[in-house]
Amino acid sequence: MSLFVMKFGGSSVGDTERMQRVAKRIAEKKEEGHQCVIVVSAMGDTTDDLIDSAKRLSDNLPAREMDMLMTTGEQISISLLSIAIQAIGHEAVSFTGWQAGFETEANHGSARILNIRPDRVIKALDAGKIVIVAGFQGMSEDGEITTLGRGGSDTTAVALAAAIKADACEIYTDVDGIYSTDPRIVKCARKLPSISYDEMLELANLGAAVLHPRAVEYAKHNSVRLIVRSSFTYNEGTVVEEESSMEQGVVVSGIAYDKNVARISILGVSDVPGVLAGVFGALAAERVDVDIIVQSGSQDGKADFSFTVNGAEVERALNVIESTRERLPYRELTSETDLVKVSIVGAGMVSHPGVAAEMFRVISDQGVSIKMVSTSEIKVSCVIEGEKVKDIIGALHTAYNLDTQEQAFVGGPQDRR
Protein backbone atom coordinates (compact mmCIF):
# COMPACT_ATOMS: atom_id res chain seq x y z
CA MET A 1 0.00 0.00 0.00
CA SER A 2 1.26 3.47 -0.92
CA LEU A 3 0.04 6.88 0.18
CA PHE A 4 -0.72 9.33 -2.62
CA VAL A 5 -1.66 12.99 -2.61
CA MET A 6 -3.58 13.73 -5.82
CA LYS A 7 -4.25 17.34 -6.81
CA PHE A 8 -6.88 18.26 -9.41
CA GLY A 9 -7.09 21.76 -10.86
CA GLY A 10 -10.14 23.77 -11.79
CA SER A 11 -10.31 22.50 -15.38
CA SER A 12 -10.33 18.89 -14.12
CA VAL A 13 -13.41 19.51 -11.94
CA GLY A 14 -14.99 22.19 -14.13
CA ASP A 15 -18.47 20.61 -14.24
CA THR A 16 -20.35 17.64 -12.76
CA GLU A 17 -19.37 15.36 -15.65
CA ARG A 18 -15.68 16.04 -15.10
CA MET A 19 -16.22 15.75 -11.35
CA GLN A 20 -17.61 12.23 -11.86
CA ARG A 21 -14.64 11.34 -14.07
CA VAL A 22 -12.24 12.50 -11.36
CA ALA A 23 -14.20 10.53 -8.74
CA LYS A 24 -13.82 7.41 -10.90
CA ARG A 25 -10.07 8.06 -11.26
CA ILE A 26 -9.69 8.37 -7.48
CA ALA A 27 -11.78 5.25 -6.87
CA GLU A 28 -9.51 3.27 -9.21
CA LYS A 29 -6.46 4.37 -7.22
CA LYS A 30 -8.18 3.38 -3.97
CA GLU A 31 -9.20 -0.02 -5.41
CA GLU A 32 -5.56 -0.68 -6.27
CA GLY A 33 -4.96 -0.72 -2.51
CA HIS A 34 -3.58 2.80 -2.01
CA GLN A 35 -4.45 5.48 0.52
CA CYS A 36 -5.61 8.68 -1.16
CA VAL A 37 -5.61 12.32 -0.11
CA ILE A 38 -7.14 14.60 -2.72
CA VAL A 39 -6.54 18.35 -3.06
CA VAL A 40 -8.85 20.31 -5.35
CA SER A 41 -9.16 23.81 -6.72
CA ALA A 42 -12.39 25.72 -7.35
CA MET A 43 -14.46 24.53 -10.30
CA GLY A 44 -13.65 26.10 -13.66
CA ASP A 45 -14.09 29.87 -13.61
CA THR A 46 -15.63 30.01 -10.12
CA THR A 47 -12.85 32.12 -8.62
CA ASP A 48 -12.99 34.65 -11.47
CA ASP A 49 -16.78 34.81 -11.18
CA LEU A 50 -16.53 35.51 -7.43
CA ILE A 51 -14.02 38.31 -8.03
CA ASP A 52 -16.27 39.83 -10.73
CA SER A 53 -19.22 39.76 -8.34
CA ALA A 54 -17.20 41.59 -5.68
CA LYS A 55 -16.02 44.20 -8.19
CA ARG A 56 -19.60 44.95 -9.14
CA LEU A 57 -20.20 45.93 -5.51
CA SER A 58 -17.08 47.96 -4.80
CA ASP A 59 -13.93 49.42 -6.32
CA ASN A 60 -12.13 48.96 -3.00
CA LEU A 61 -12.11 45.27 -2.13
CA PRO A 62 -11.22 44.51 1.53
CA ALA A 63 -8.53 41.81 1.65
CA ARG A 64 -10.10 39.98 4.59
CA GLU A 65 -13.53 39.75 3.00
CA MET A 66 -12.02 38.67 -0.31
CA ASP A 67 -10.36 35.75 1.45
CA MET A 68 -13.70 34.85 3.04
CA LEU A 69 -15.27 34.95 -0.42
CA MET A 70 -12.51 33.22 -2.41
CA THR A 71 -12.28 30.18 -0.14
CA THR A 72 -15.91 29.29 -0.84
CA GLY A 73 -14.99 28.11 -4.34
CA GLU A 74 -12.80 25.28 -3.05
CA GLN A 75 -15.38 24.36 -0.42
CA ILE A 76 -17.94 23.79 -3.18
CA SER A 77 -15.46 21.53 -4.99
CA ILE A 78 -14.54 19.37 -2.00
CA SER A 79 -18.16 18.75 -0.97
CA LEU A 80 -19.31 17.89 -4.51
CA LEU A 81 -16.33 15.59 -5.08
CA SER A 82 -16.99 13.82 -1.78
CA ILE A 83 -20.61 13.32 -2.81
CA ALA A 84 -19.50 11.95 -6.21
CA ILE A 85 -17.06 9.49 -4.61
CA GLN A 86 -19.60 8.28 -2.08
CA ALA A 87 -22.13 7.82 -4.89
CA ILE A 88 -19.87 5.16 -6.46
CA GLY A 89 -19.45 3.24 -3.23
CA HIS A 90 -16.38 4.62 -1.44
CA GLU A 91 -16.13 6.36 1.91
CA ALA A 92 -14.92 9.94 1.63
CA VAL A 93 -14.71 12.99 3.86
CA SER A 94 -14.00 16.61 2.92
CA PHE A 95 -11.96 19.11 4.95
CA THR A 96 -11.38 22.81 4.53
CA GLY A 97 -7.78 23.99 4.72
CA TRP A 98 -8.06 24.87 8.38
CA GLN A 99 -9.80 21.57 9.22
CA ALA A 100 -6.87 19.82 7.54
CA GLY A 101 -4.50 21.71 9.87
CA PHE A 102 -3.01 24.45 7.66
CA GLU A 103 -1.67 27.28 9.84
CA THR A 104 -0.57 30.37 7.92
CA GLU A 105 0.65 33.92 8.23
CA ALA A 106 -2.01 36.57 8.82
CA ASN A 107 -1.35 38.03 5.37
CA HIS A 108 -4.60 38.05 3.39
CA GLY A 109 -4.32 37.20 -0.28
CA SER A 110 -0.83 35.68 -0.25
CA ALA A 111 -0.27 33.99 3.11
CA ARG A 112 2.59 31.54 3.54
CA ILE A 113 2.18 28.21 5.30
CA LEU A 114 3.77 28.23 8.77
CA ASN A 115 2.78 24.77 10.00
CA ILE A 116 0.53 21.81 9.20
CA ARG A 117 -1.15 19.68 11.84
CA PRO A 118 -2.72 16.89 9.74
CA ASP A 119 -4.19 14.91 12.67
CA ARG A 120 -7.72 14.76 11.21
CA VAL A 121 -6.37 13.78 7.80
CA ILE A 122 -4.34 10.90 9.25
CA LYS A 123 -7.23 9.74 11.44
CA ALA A 124 -9.58 9.63 8.43
CA LEU A 125 -6.99 7.73 6.38
CA ASP A 126 -6.58 5.20 9.19
CA ALA A 127 -10.35 4.72 9.09
CA GLY A 128 -10.08 3.74 5.42
CA LYS A 129 -11.56 6.92 3.99
CA ILE A 130 -10.58 8.95 0.96
CA VAL A 131 -9.71 12.42 2.26
CA ILE A 132 -10.52 15.51 0.19
CA VAL A 133 -8.85 18.80 1.16
CA ALA A 134 -9.58 22.30 -0.12
CA GLY A 135 -6.52 23.82 -1.75
CA PHE A 136 -5.42 27.45 -1.60
CA GLN A 137 -6.51 28.14 2.00
CA GLY A 138 -5.62 28.03 5.67
CA MET A 139 -6.10 29.86 8.96
CA SER A 140 -3.88 32.29 10.81
CA GLU A 141 -2.97 32.02 14.48
CA ASP A 142 -5.65 34.56 15.39
CA GLY A 143 -8.38 32.54 13.64
CA GLU A 144 -8.59 34.47 10.36
CA ILE A 145 -9.28 32.60 7.12
CA THR A 146 -6.45 33.18 4.62
CA THR A 147 -5.60 32.30 1.02
CA LEU A 148 -2.19 31.26 -0.27
CA GLY A 149 -2.11 33.35 -3.45
CA ARG A 150 -1.47 32.19 -7.00
CA GLY A 151 -0.72 28.49 -7.31
CA GLY A 152 -1.97 27.95 -3.78
CA SER A 153 -3.59 24.59 -4.49
CA ASP A 154 -0.33 23.17 -5.88
CA THR A 155 1.42 24.40 -2.75
CA THR A 156 -1.30 22.89 -0.53
CA ALA A 157 -0.83 19.50 -2.19
CA VAL A 158 2.96 19.43 -1.94
CA ALA A 159 3.02 20.74 1.63
CA LEU A 160 0.43 18.18 2.71
CA ALA A 161 2.39 15.39 0.97
CA ALA A 162 5.45 16.42 2.98
CA ALA A 163 3.49 16.60 6.26
CA ILE A 164 1.94 13.14 5.95
CA LYS A 165 5.05 11.60 4.33
CA ALA A 166 3.24 10.59 1.15
CA ASP A 167 5.01 8.33 -1.33
CA ALA A 168 4.21 10.77 -4.15
CA CYS A 169 2.30 13.92 -4.94
CA GLU A 170 0.51 13.71 -8.29
CA ILE A 171 -0.56 16.97 -9.93
CA TYR A 172 -3.36 16.33 -12.44
CA THR A 173 -3.94 18.98 -15.09
CA ASP A 174 -5.01 19.35 -18.74
CA VAL A 175 -1.61 18.35 -20.15
CA ASP A 176 -0.11 14.90 -19.68
CA GLY A 177 3.23 16.03 -18.32
CA ILE A 178 5.83 18.75 -18.50
CA TYR A 179 6.80 19.68 -22.04
CA SER A 180 9.89 21.30 -23.53
CA THR A 181 7.67 24.34 -24.16
CA ASP A 182 3.98 25.22 -24.18
CA PRO A 183 2.35 22.49 -26.34
CA ARG A 184 -0.45 24.90 -27.20
CA ILE A 185 2.10 26.95 -29.17
CA VAL A 186 4.49 24.23 -30.40
CA LYS A 187 2.57 21.08 -31.34
CA CYS A 188 5.80 19.11 -31.70
CA ALA A 189 6.88 19.94 -28.14
CA ARG A 190 8.69 17.11 -26.37
CA LYS A 191 7.25 15.58 -23.20
CA LEU A 192 9.96 15.17 -20.59
CA PRO A 193 10.01 11.84 -18.71
CA SER A 194 11.75 13.59 -15.82
CA ILE A 195 13.14 16.98 -14.86
CA SER A 196 15.21 18.18 -11.91
CA TYR A 197 13.77 20.38 -9.17
CA ASP A 198 16.17 23.17 -10.15
CA GLU A 199 15.21 23.11 -13.83
CA MET A 200 11.50 22.97 -13.01
CA LEU A 201 11.85 25.81 -10.52
CA GLU A 202 13.51 27.97 -13.17
CA LEU A 203 10.82 27.13 -15.74
CA ALA A 204 8.04 27.84 -13.23
CA ASN A 205 9.58 31.15 -12.21
CA LEU A 206 10.02 32.09 -15.87
CA GLY A 207 6.39 31.63 -16.85
CA ALA A 208 5.72 27.90 -17.35
CA ALA A 209 2.22 27.61 -15.89
CA VAL A 210 2.05 23.86 -15.30
CA LEU A 211 3.47 24.14 -11.75
CA HIS A 212 3.74 27.07 -9.38
CA PRO A 213 7.24 28.04 -8.16
CA ARG A 214 6.27 27.86 -4.48
CA ALA A 215 5.09 24.28 -4.91
CA VAL A 216 8.32 23.25 -6.65
CA GLU A 217 10.41 24.99 -4.01
CA TYR A 218 8.47 23.20 -1.25
CA ALA A 219 8.91 19.86 -3.03
CA LYS A 220 12.66 20.37 -3.39
CA HIS A 221 13.10 21.43 0.23
CA ASN A 222 11.13 18.43 1.53
CA SER A 223 12.21 15.87 -1.12
CA VAL A 224 8.61 15.30 -2.23
CA ARG A 225 8.37 13.10 -5.33
CA LEU A 226 6.28 15.20 -7.71
CA ILE A 227 4.50 13.78 -10.77
CA VAL A 228 2.61 15.87 -13.34
CA ARG A 229 -0.12 13.92 -15.18
CA SER A 230 -3.27 14.50 -17.22
CA SER A 231 -6.66 14.07 -15.61
CA PHE A 232 -8.02 13.17 -19.07
CA THR A 233 -5.63 10.33 -19.99
CA TYR A 234 -3.77 7.46 -18.36
CA ASN A 235 -0.49 8.41 -20.05
CA GLU A 236 2.72 8.36 -18.04
CA GLY A 237 3.47 11.80 -16.66
CA THR A 238 6.67 13.69 -15.83
CA VAL A 239 8.57 13.08 -12.61
CA VAL A 240 10.15 16.08 -10.86
CA GLU A 241 13.04 14.86 -8.74
CA GLU A 242 16.50 15.77 -7.47
CA GLU A 243 18.41 14.50 -10.48
CA SER A 244 16.74 13.81 -13.82
CA SER A 245 18.00 11.39 -16.46
CA MET A 246 17.82 13.64 -19.51
CA GLU A 247 18.61 12.31 -22.96
CA GLN A 248 22.27 12.37 -23.93
CA GLY A 249 23.17 15.56 -25.76
CA VAL A 250 20.11 17.56 -24.69
CA VAL A 251 21.53 20.90 -23.55
CA VAL A 252 18.30 22.92 -23.27
CA SER A 253 15.45 21.03 -21.59
CA GLY A 254 12.76 23.69 -21.76
CA ILE A 255 11.66 27.04 -23.17
CA ALA A 256 9.37 29.29 -21.13
CA TYR A 257 7.81 32.67 -21.70
CA ASP A 258 6.06 35.35 -19.69
CA LYS A 259 3.78 37.63 -21.70
CA ASN A 260 3.05 40.07 -18.89
CA VAL A 261 6.33 41.95 -18.45
CA ALA A 262 7.00 45.68 -18.11
CA ARG A 263 10.31 47.55 -18.04
CA ILE A 264 10.85 50.58 -15.82
CA SER A 265 13.87 52.84 -16.35
CA ILE A 266 15.24 55.40 -13.91
CA LEU A 267 17.55 57.84 -15.70
CA GLY A 268 20.10 60.24 -14.29
CA VAL A 269 20.51 58.79 -10.81
CA SER A 270 23.43 59.85 -8.63
CA ASP A 271 26.05 57.11 -8.82
CA VAL A 272 26.72 56.90 -5.09
CA PRO A 273 26.46 54.02 -2.59
CA GLY A 274 22.98 53.34 -1.25
CA VAL A 275 20.88 54.56 -4.19
CA LEU A 276 19.90 51.11 -5.47
CA ALA A 277 19.30 49.91 -1.92
CA GLY A 278 16.98 52.87 -1.35
CA VAL A 279 14.93 52.32 -4.51
CA PHE A 280 14.60 48.56 -4.28
CA GLY A 281 14.12 48.67 -0.53
CA ALA A 282 11.10 50.94 -1.07
CA LEU A 283 9.72 48.57 -3.71
CA ALA A 284 10.24 45.57 -1.43
CA ALA A 285 8.45 47.32 1.43
CA GLU A 286 5.40 47.65 -0.84
CA ARG A 287 5.71 43.98 -1.94
CA VAL A 288 6.53 44.83 -5.55
CA ASP A 289 8.49 41.92 -7.04
CA VAL A 290 11.41 42.96 -9.23
CA ASP A 291 12.98 40.63 -11.77
CA ILE A 292 15.80 41.56 -14.17
CA ILE A 293 17.95 44.57 -13.18
CA VAL A 294 20.43 46.25 -15.53
CA GLN A 295 22.59 49.29 -14.67
CA SER A 296 24.51 51.31 -17.26
CA GLY A 297 27.96 52.76 -16.76
CA SER A 298 28.40 55.99 -14.86
CA GLN A 299 28.90 59.30 -16.69
CA ASP A 300 29.39 62.68 -14.97
CA GLY A 301 28.48 61.04 -11.68
CA LYS A 302 25.10 59.90 -13.01
CA ALA A 303 23.88 56.43 -13.97
CA ASP A 304 20.81 54.88 -15.58
CA PHE A 305 19.24 51.59 -14.58
CA SER A 306 16.27 49.52 -15.68
CA PHE A 307 14.35 46.64 -14.18
CA THR A 308 11.32 44.50 -14.99
CA VAL A 309 8.12 43.93 -13.03
CA ASN A 310 4.88 42.11 -13.67
CA GLY A 311 2.69 44.15 -16.02
CA ALA A 312 -0.01 44.48 -13.37
CA GLU A 313 2.47 46.11 -10.97
CA VAL A 314 3.64 48.97 -13.21
CA GLU A 315 1.53 51.79 -11.77
CA ARG A 316 2.22 50.76 -8.18
CA ALA A 317 5.95 50.52 -8.87
CA LEU A 318 6.00 53.95 -10.54
CA ASN A 319 4.16 55.49 -7.58
CA VAL A 320 6.66 53.97 -5.14
CA ILE A 321 9.64 55.31 -7.09
CA GLU A 322 8.09 58.77 -7.44
CA SER A 323 7.63 58.84 -3.67
CA THR A 324 11.41 58.40 -3.23
CA ARG A 325 12.41 61.23 -5.59
CA GLU A 326 12.96 63.84 -2.87
CA ARG A 327 15.62 61.77 -1.11
CA LEU A 328 16.79 59.81 -4.19
CA PRO A 329 16.61 62.35 -7.05
CA TYR A 330 16.65 61.29 -10.70
CA ARG A 331 16.27 63.04 -14.05
CA GLU A 332 13.54 60.95 -15.66
CA LEU A 333 11.31 57.93 -14.99
CA THR A 334 9.97 55.90 -17.93
CA SER A 335 8.07 52.66 -18.41
CA GLU A 336 7.39 50.27 -21.28
CA THR A 337 4.62 47.65 -21.19
CA ASP A 338 3.46 44.70 -23.32
CA LEU A 339 6.89 43.07 -23.32
CA VAL A 340 7.64 39.35 -23.21
CA LYS A 341 10.39 37.47 -21.41
CA VAL A 342 11.55 34.39 -23.33
CA SER A 343 13.83 31.97 -21.48
CA ILE A 344 15.77 28.79 -22.18
CA VAL A 345 16.53 26.40 -19.31
CA GLY A 346 18.80 23.38 -19.05
CA ALA A 347 21.21 21.84 -16.59
CA GLY A 348 23.53 21.01 -19.49
CA MET A 349 24.04 24.66 -20.44
CA VAL A 350 26.79 25.21 -17.89
CA SER A 351 29.22 22.95 -19.79
CA HIS A 352 28.24 23.97 -23.33
CA PRO A 353 29.57 27.34 -24.58
CA GLY A 354 27.60 29.14 -27.27
CA VAL A 355 24.11 28.35 -25.98
CA ALA A 356 23.31 32.02 -25.30
CA ALA A 357 24.83 33.10 -28.61
CA GLU A 358 22.51 30.70 -30.44
CA MET A 359 19.50 32.20 -28.65
CA PHE A 360 20.56 35.72 -29.62
CA ARG A 361 21.02 34.60 -33.25
CA VAL A 362 17.55 33.03 -33.42
CA ILE A 363 15.89 36.15 -32.03
CA SER A 364 17.89 38.37 -34.39
CA ASP A 365 16.89 36.24 -37.39
CA GLN A 366 13.27 37.01 -36.53
CA GLY A 367 14.03 40.74 -36.81
CA VAL A 368 13.47 41.36 -33.10
CA SER A 369 15.70 43.44 -30.82
CA ILE A 370 16.67 42.25 -27.34
CA LYS A 371 15.99 44.86 -24.67
CA MET A 372 17.39 43.10 -21.57
CA VAL A 373 19.26 39.88 -20.80
CA SER A 374 19.57 37.84 -17.61
CA THR A 375 21.60 34.66 -17.14
CA SER A 376 22.35 31.98 -14.57
CA GLU A 377 24.13 28.64 -14.75
CA ILE A 378 21.02 26.93 -16.12
CA LYS A 379 19.02 29.67 -17.86
CA VAL A 380 19.18 32.61 -20.26
CA SER A 381 16.29 35.11 -20.40
CA CYS A 382 15.70 37.82 -23.01
CA VAL A 383 13.13 40.61 -22.76
CA ILE A 384 11.69 41.46 -26.18
CA GLU A 385 8.64 43.02 -27.81
CA GLY A 386 5.89 40.46 -28.06
CA GLU A 387 4.58 40.50 -31.62
CA LYS A 388 6.66 37.52 -32.82
CA VAL A 389 6.89 35.55 -29.58
CA LYS A 390 5.26 32.40 -31.02
CA ASP A 391 7.60 32.40 -34.02
CA ILE A 392 10.61 32.89 -31.75
CA ILE A 393 9.62 30.07 -29.41
CA GLY A 394 9.11 27.73 -32.36
CA ALA A 395 12.46 28.72 -33.87
CA LEU A 396 14.28 28.25 -30.56
CA HIS A 397 12.63 24.88 -30.08
CA THR A 398 13.96 23.75 -33.46
CA ALA A 399 17.40 25.32 -32.96
CA TYR A 400 17.98 23.37 -29.74
CA ASN A 401 16.83 20.06 -31.31
CA LEU A 402 13.73 19.75 -29.12
CA ASP A 403 11.20 18.99 -31.88
CA THR A 404 9.59 15.56 -31.82
CA GLN A 405 7.31 13.63 -34.18
CA GLU A 406 4.80 12.89 -31.44
CA GLN A 407 1.70 15.07 -31.07
CA ALA A 408 1.34 16.78 -27.71
CA PHE A 409 -1.87 16.03 -25.82
CA VAL A 410 -3.69 18.97 -24.28
CA GLY A 411 -7.02 18.59 -22.47
CA GLY A 412 -10.14 16.87 -23.76
CA PRO A 413 -13.28 15.37 -22.27
CA GLN A 414 -12.49 11.81 -23.35
CA ASP A 415 -10.67 9.16 -21.33
CA ARG A 416 -7.77 7.44 -23.11
CA ARG A 417 -6.31 4.49 -21.27
Which band of pLDDT confidence, cut at 50, 70 and 90, is reported for residue 416?
A: very low
Task: Tell me the average pLDDT of the chain.
Answer: 91
**Judging by beta carbons within 10 Å of its beta carbon (0-12, 13-18, 19+), is residue 210 exposed, middle or buried?**
buried
Q: Given a cut of 80, is residue 207 above it in pLDDT?
A: no
CB 83 within 8 A of CB 40: no
Q: Long-range contacts made by residues 293-301, C-beta under 8 angstroms, separation at least 24?
A: 294/372, 294/373, 298/271, 301/270, 301/271, 301/272
- Structure confidence by residue, pLDDT tens digits, 94-134: 999 999 999 999 999 989 999 999 999 999 999 999 999 99
Which band of pLDDT confidence, cut at 50, 70 and 90, is reported for residue 27?
A: very high
CA distance 200 to 178: 9
pTM comes to: 0.84
Q: Given a cut of 60, is residue 247 above it in pLDDT?
A: no
Which band of pLDDT confidence, cut at 50, 70 and 90, is reported for residue 206?
A: confident
Q: Rg of the Cα trace of the chain?
A: 23
CB 181 within 8 A of CB 395: no
**Per-residue pLDDT at 246:** 52
Nearest to 171 by CA among 5, 412, 14, 414: 5
Angle between helix 63-87 and helix 46-57 axes, rounded to 10 deg? 150
- What's the mean pLDDT in 347-366? 89
**Per-residue pLDDT at 245:** 54
- What's the mean pLDDT in 23-28? 96
Structure-model confidence comparison of residues 213 and 56, the more confident one: 56
CA distance 292 to 382: 10
Q: Given a cut of 70, is residue 217 above it in pLDDT?
A: yes
CA distance 129 to 93: 7
Considering 137-146, 232-241, 352-361, the range whose residues carry the highest mean pLDDT is: 137-146
Q: Residue 43 carries which DSSP code?
A: S
- What's the mean pLDDT in 172-185? 88
Q: Given a cut of 60, is residue 413 above it in pLDDT?
A: no
CA distance 393 to 224: 31
**Per-residue pLDDT at 417:** 29
- Structure confidence by residue, pLDDT tens digits, 290-322: 999 998 777 788 889 999 999 989 999 999 999
**Per-residue pLDDT at 415:** 36
